[in-house]
Amino acid sequence: MLQGKKIVVGITGGIAAYKIPLLVRLLKKEGAEVKVVMTDFSKSFVTPLTLATVSGEPVYSEFFNPENGLWHSHVDLGLWADAMILAPLTANTMAKMASGVADNFLLTVILSARCPVFFAPTMDMDMFQHPVTQENIRKLIKLGYHYVPPSEGFLASGLDGPGRMSEPEELAQVLNEYFSGDEVLQGKKVLISAGPTHEPFDAVRFIGNRSSGKMGIALAKAFAQKGALVHLVLGPVSFDVSFPGITVYPVETAAEMADQCKKIFTEADVAIMAAAVADFTPVHTSESKIKKEGGFHSIEVKATEDILASLGKSKRKDQLLIGFALETDNEFQNAQKKLEKKNLDMIVLNSLKDSGAGFGTDTNKVTILNRNGDHYTFDLKSKEAVATDIISEIKALMEEIS
Ligand code: CTP
């Protein structure tokens, strides 16, 4: 599974560092190319010479090559990698990662990485159980890092409990599982629209809707975690989305969203329009705030561009286009009609009649209809789990066209 995969192994100063040459050998045996980055402290536990020998590559830990004074580019390494694994990862480096500190070469590579980053914390039991450590782990998971929990067992401190690094075979297995079956998504360019749009009619007021953007963002994260390059065109939402593998294009209006989506679509392999685009926009917009004294009775509106339909018109045979349908009545028939009319490959139907589905919730209940006439109804799930179901269906369609 790891044949041809480029993997950066980051080592920090924990006793388990002595096991990493074996991990590097296992990854190489599976056909991966491996580059090792070490912190200075980790060299007390395992030598760079051992790691350079087993990886067949120079080991990186300085910004400059001490022999020829040439610059080691952390950005190049971050872009080179298909995956990065940090093992063992100390509480110290983890805390720095969680707050964006970049005071050594390894941390700058981590910050530059666009690929999935796996982290295997290892430390003494009490340090591991400390609320700050636990908070940092949660923070990294939320930011999209992949957590490889430590196992329980005898620790170097003499304590017995959680904090032990997983064995090299288990770490290699985590990478294997990650890449298995997802080859079809590796490096694929995926365009996703999410969130509402705001259509202003004066300096402070707009027409909008209650979309939180959560479903589209969950999809974007799930695709990025599987190695796709995600371009997220995001309407105004109340939270920040920074996640490895996702480039965010913030927009406000339907017209801005349409422009951005059309630009990205020409290069995209898959496009999913999950945004709740306002269907109408005011004909006139006042630069200043409209005062009530003058009287204000109506807003004249015109239709916005249907972005999904426009993309459907220019779609090539090697591209997949997926839409959403939010319905209250005749749900299935209306979704089927949208699938055909907008030239889609798949449509994800949410019914506002289902409780827990639709705007602002953390859960969703969907039916997926595809161009082959198949349809699948799923249970109420978290938006993250729904994203996984949607991606499985998209992968099946990608295999059909590849
Ligand atoms: N959509 C879009 N541009 C618009 C309106 C909708 O790209 N101006 C996309 C949405 O992102 C979604 C799909 O079209 O993927 C369907 O949106 P929905 O609001 O359910 O349907 P509409 O086509 O707008 O029709 P109606 O509101 O009449 O049901």
Pocket of ligand 1 contains residue 273 by CB under 6 Å: yes
Distance 236 CA to ligand 1 centre (A): 17
Q: Percent of the chain, pLDDT > 70?
A: 99
Atom of ligand 1 nearest to the CA of 326: 20
- How far is residue 20's CA from residue 54's CA, in Å, rounded to a whole number? 10
pLDDT band at 29 (very low <50, low <70, confident <90, very high): very high
Which range of 144-158, 188-202, 217-231, 284-298 scores highest in mean pLDDT? It is 188-202
Residue 240 has pLDDT above 90, yes or no: no
The CATH number of domain 6-180 is 3.40.50.720 = no
Pocket of ligand 1 contains residue 194 by CB under 6 Å: no
Worst-scoring range by mean pLDDT, 257-266, 283-292, 299-308?
A: 283-292
pLDDT band at 288 (very low <50, low <70, confident <90, very high): very high
Q: Is the whole model's pTM more than 0.85, yes or no?
A: no
Pocket of ligand 1 contains residue 254 by CB under 6 Å: yes
**Residue type at 143?**
L
| pLDDT score, position 72 | 75
The residues, ordered by sequence, that sit 6+ positions from 134 with a Cβ below 8 Å of its Cβ are none
Residue 44 has pLDDT above 80, yes or no: yes
Residue 51 has pLDDT above 90, yes or no: yes
Pocket test residue of 191, 279, 280, 344 for ligand 1, highest count of atoms within 8 A of CB: 279
Q: Do domains 6-180 and 186-401 have the same CATH topology?
A: yes
| pLDDT score, position 206 | 97
Distance 274 CA to ligand 1 centre (A): 9
| pLDDT score, position 300 | 95
Catalytic residue numbers read 209
Pocket of ligand 1 contains residue 304 by CB under 6 Å: yes
Looking at CATH, the fold of the domain delimited by 186-401 is given as Rossmann fold (3.40.50)
Distance 271 CA to ligand 1 centre (A): 14
| pLDDT score, position 71 | 74
| pLDDT score, position 186 | 83
Summarised one tens digit per residue, pLDDT across range 61-74 is 988 777 777 777 77
- In this structure, the chain runs to a length of 402
Summarised one tens digit per residue, pLDDT across range 73-110 is 777 888 899 899 999 999 999 999 999 999 999 999 99
Distance 325 CA to ligand 1 centre (A): 7
| pLDDT score, position 181 | 58
Atom of ligand 1 nearest to the CA of 254: 8
Domain spans, the chain: 6-180, 186-401
Cβ pair 305, 342 in contact under 8 A: no
Pocket test residue of 215, 265, 326 for ligand 1, highest count of atoms within 8 A of CB: 326
In this prediction, residues 347-371 reach a mean pLDDT of 84
Pocket of ligand 1 contains residue 306 by CB under 6 Å: yes
Summarised one tens digit per residue, pLDDT across range 322-342 is 999 999 899 999 999 999 999
In this prediction, residues 210-232 reach a mean pLDDT of 91
Atom of ligand 1 nearest to the CA of 308: 7
| pLDDT score, position 88 | 97
| pLDDT score, position 275 | 97
